Amino acid sequence: MKQLLDFLPLVIFFAVYKFFDIYVASGALIAATALQLIISYMLYKKLEKMHLITFAMVTVFGSLTLIFHDDSFIKWKVTIVYALFAIALVVSQFMNKPILKSMLGKELVVADKIWAHVTWYWVLFFVACAIVNIYVAFSLSQETWVNFKVFGLTALTLINTVLTVLYLFKNMSEEDRKELK
């Protein structure tokens, strides 16, 4: 349910874009992200920082898109969010408080060296996505960018998540693997 809720704004953005345009879709994205926060709070009685940051970014860049009637703002949002994720991972790694380990370390017990590998892998992934988004957003058609944003980046993120879990699982002790099963 929680994962479906995370995709709600993206699905609404895509559907509204297909029936209207990028501006109506940007407004719908703001509304859908606000709805996501409300539903999350009603179901779980708390809000995750990532959802709040995403809502703030969507609201700022979506509003700028609407106010200036310029789709560049909503396109830049994707790159800026990926850059912020990469920066957060780098900072957490240098502070010896890796975000990924704090999120998953209770369930997936591996050496700190493995968490560092995973962290740097995701930093590179987010930087690559940010750069590719700039290229697609400003070199190809708007429709191509929307499809890339909705399907391409989502698929890449899901694939990388699976690869990360497999890598972590492979590097767990046999005893810890058995506990997960």
Per-residue pLDDT of the chain (181 residues; tens, 9 = 90+): 677 788 899 999 999 999 999 999 999 999 999 999 999 999 889 888 888 988 999 999 999 999 999 999 999 999 999 999 999 999 999 998 888 888 876 777 878 899 999 999 999 999 999 999 999 999 999 999 999 999 999 999 999 999 998 998 888 777 766 666 6
69's tokens: 């009637």
pLDDT of residue 7: 87
Residue showing tokens 């767990």: 172
pLDDT of residue 176: 66
30's tokens: 């703001």
Helix (H/G/I), strand (E/B), else coil: 97: coil
Give the number of other CB atoms < 10 A from CB of residue 115. 21
User: Whole-angstrom Cα distance, residue 115 to residue 120?
Assistant: 9
By the 10 Å C-beta count (0-12 exposed, 13-18 middle, 19+ buried), 150 is classed as middle
Whole-prediction pTM: 0.88
Number of residues assigned to the chain: 181
pLDDT of residue 5: 81
pLDDT of residue 110: 79
